Structure 1
């Protein structure tokens, strides 16, 4: 298995960025020389034209989000009829020399107007838009790009890519990690998981790397940037080196597609900046459907060529602060079901920085879930404001994370919904351990039929008069989460209530709930 990273030959590092914060993340270059050119690129699958989750308002916010990141090049996937609107929004109020040019990559003969999957947006002059690819099984629905000109005349080749989602790569990975974590019989072997790449993705990746690219860019030293959605995971991330990382559960998967990119001399820019895949998983799937248990990094920026260096990289999976709290934010925590990936590159000898030099952002390391404080309490009973037949409230106490409580969805009950634990006698409660339900371990979607987004935690001595002691927002994933008591309760309490004010698909649910008390 190849886990190597291909670095450009003869790189000149203008300034090592060693004081950008603690942790394993690192930056390999920065455009400090006036002759060098910073090149910020973004890979972003906007999910069905950006209007599925929130309509035109969400699309408007996508444009504001992209503008806030200040990319020079955007590799956009699932654009689907929104390209012209996005181009217009990106350019609103900009002077002519700072405007973006939108390039429709997907342009199959006779295609419907809203079937334009891939687009490319660039602020740099376009020397050539490459011809539509016709190398079966790859079409312009999967790959295409352009050659850009830097201020000095140096050229950079940029390509947007999308590889098939079926068969899913992440779902069996996540399911098998969950099986191992909870002692279930694994539903997939490591070889079966890796084989999902061979259904369609691998053949397309090899065609791109061995046929299309050599024809379009015959000079192997020429700078090339490929960005987009590969719908598969990283062989480096899932190598033996990280088998012991939290939520990997000993899994090692030799992913063929990302191996092919590495073997072709490409650098995985995010992992180049953050070599520790355990602390920096870089997950981009899925802020909408739920991050699940194991991390899914399926969106990439790859680079190859002389004089093209990596400076920094970061992911985005939350809305801008000014967009939080709006109606569209309640059900859709981000603008898409994919996170966005931004990478800062340096083009050596590019001729300066016509669009300025962006501040280099960094991802924060991801720690395992917070450990509960105190000792667990065996609740004697549980009740809920509503429950669906077959998904009764008592399931949160059965010790089986594969069963769960769900509030009524036939008929539907509007939120808020609440579930209350009876601890049988007064206790000094420190918090609640919450596990979101695991249904969907073997399905094509995470299966969040019911879950809790925004919550309130309340306690009571008599079961009638409750005092709120905490509130917040839970992650849409399957890892245990700690809900602390944030305010004092003036003594011991018998009842602990978790209220769901917002939930995925407007239903509340939980697989396991455990109260903890002070030791």
Structure 2
């Protein structure tokens, strides 16, 4: 790493206070942030755009971070406007942001889109991310190919079952993960965020990172979810944590065994199971959708999962037996991921 990702400001451990961390909070503006993979711009489910708009309204989200949103951002904004809900839309080729707050300016960055928001005179810079899905290294311990393009390592297996069984060597897994370029994208984000923070902004990033968390593949989960004994500090989230960004879900629910927060593959009763899973004979469940924040002015008050309680496990539908906090389980769902909703107080 040629760039220092560790010094983005000195507001405690990233400056974002979890619920219960303070005895009194100054007058604040509530911000409800929803991160959602739209699954091909809502096109995989009938009335997908309407379902996303329903979700924005029912969750009372004020900022929405969309991935796989080629056409969804402007379409959802138009649907919300038709229903009398005005959102500013910031689209990009693959990600998008919806905000009830004024957008000062925006930029299309590699693998993400950025918007500077003005909230009662305070600056909040938000990023919606969707990182590379290939070189999906968490498939290896589960005995499946990581989707490496030729002529890369394991490319001959594509996404199929490995003939020699699971790969549990951490060095090999990290090697494939590094080839994805996801960690370099996050380092680029951290450089951009550092400038925002130096200019007085609070920062939130959310979306589908297509990579597990170092807080989830721990000794406590080594024998769960087909980790097959692997304990790994996944690099993308490691860089975010070292830079002081606080993982909303894991900050309130720190135990990855009792509250794994699994977001993919989500069940979707309107879709055949074969379309929802990549490793049909494995337990491939992971938390790959996140909301992270940095800034002394942000106080996290609540976070939970939005979506079906069902997941896909070894090619079958299964209700989650975990103690995870499901804030909403809509009757119809438009994605193959579950979403994340985090509520912050933006204080003085």
Q: TM-score range by the shorter chain?
A: 0.7 to 0.9
**Equivalent in the alignment of 1:149:** 118
Match of 1:192 in 2: 172
Distance 1:243 1:61, change over 3 A: same
Alignment of 1:433-444 (within 5 A): none
Does 2:87 match 1:100?
A: yes
- Out of 285, 293, 298, the residue aligned to residue 303 of structure 1 is 293
Where in structure 2 are the equivalents of 1:77-476 lying within 5 Å?
77-94=67-84, 99-104=86-91, 106=92, 116-126=93-103, 128-133=104-109, 139=110, 142-151=111-120, 153-175=121-143, 185-199=165-179, 200-210=181-191, 212-215=192-195, 217-219=196-198, 222-243=201-222, 247-288=226-267, 289-290=276-277, 293-318=283-308, 323-324=331-332, 334-349=333-348
Change in Cα spacing, 1:279 to 1:48, as seen in structure 2 (3 Å) is: same
Return the offset for 1:241: 4.8
2:87–2:100 contact (8 Å) kept in structure 1: yes
Partner of 1:414: none
Q: Structure 1 residues 214, 267: CA separation in 2 closer, same or farther (over 3 Å shift)?
A: same
Question: Is contact 2:212–2:287 with CA below 8 Å preserved after alignment?
Answer: yes
CA deviations over 1:389-446 (Å, ceiling 9, x no partner): xxxxxxxxxxxxxxxxxxxxxxxxxxxxxxxxxxxxxxxxxxxxxxxxxxxxxxxxxx
The answer to whether the 8 A contact 1:27-1:312 is kept is yes
Q: d(CA) in 2 for partners of 1:49 and 1:31?
A: 42
Q: Alpha-carbon deviation of 1:62?
A: 2.1
Structure 1 stretches lacking a partner, 5+ long: 14-25, 107-115, 134-138, 177-183, 325-333, 350-519
Distance 1:250 1:338 in 2: 25
- Provide the residue aligned with 2:155 in structure 1: none
Higher relative contact order (CA 8 A, sep 6+): 2
Q: How many Å separate the matches in 2 of 1:307 and 1:273?
A: 18
Task: Please say if residues 38 and 66 of structure 2, whose CA atoms lie closer than 8 Å, have aligned partners that are also in contact.
Answer: yes
1:107-139 C-alpha deviation (Å, 9 max, x unpaired): xxxxxxxxx21110001122x223344xxxxx2
Counterpart in 1 of 2:325?
none
* Structure 2 spans left out of the alignment, 5+ residues: 145-163, 268-275, 310-327
Q: 1:82 to 1:310 in 2, by over 3 A?
A: same
Q: Distance in 1 between matches of 2:221 and 2:266?
A: 23
Do 1:74 and 1:120's aligned partners in 2 also have CA atoms closer than 8 Å? yes
Distance 1:118 1:166 in 2: 17
- Are 1:70 and 2:60 counterparts? yes
Deviation at 1:43, TM superposition (A): 0.9
1:32-47 correspondence runs (5 A): 35-47=27-39
Aligned-residue Cα RMSD (Å) equals: 3.0
The normalised TM-score by structure 2 is: 0.74
Q: TM-score, with normalisation over the residues of structure 1?
A: 0.51
Cα distance in 2 for partners of 1:73, 1:29 equals 24
Equivalent residue of 1:237, what SS? coil
- Per-residue deviation, residues 54-85 of structure 1 (Å, max 9, x unmatched): 23x23222221222111110010111223222
1:311 to partner: Cα distance: 1.3
Aligned to 1:49: 41
Deviation at 1:33, TM superposition (A): 5.4
Q: Which moved more, 1:281-290 or 1:166-175?
A: 166-175
**In structure 1, distance between residues paired with 2:25 and 2:173:** 45
Whether the 8 Å CA contact 1:221–1:304 is kept in 2: the answer is: no
User: How much has 1:219 moved relative to structure 2?
Assistant: 0.9
1:180-200 CA-partner distances (Å, limit 9, x unpaired)? xxxx95334222222232112
Go from structure 1 to structure 2 and tell me whether the alpha carbon gap of 1:61 and 1:51 turns closer, same or farther (over 3 Å shift): same
Check whether the contact 2:73–2:98 (CA below 8 A) recurs between aligned residues.
no
Match of 1:511 in 2: none
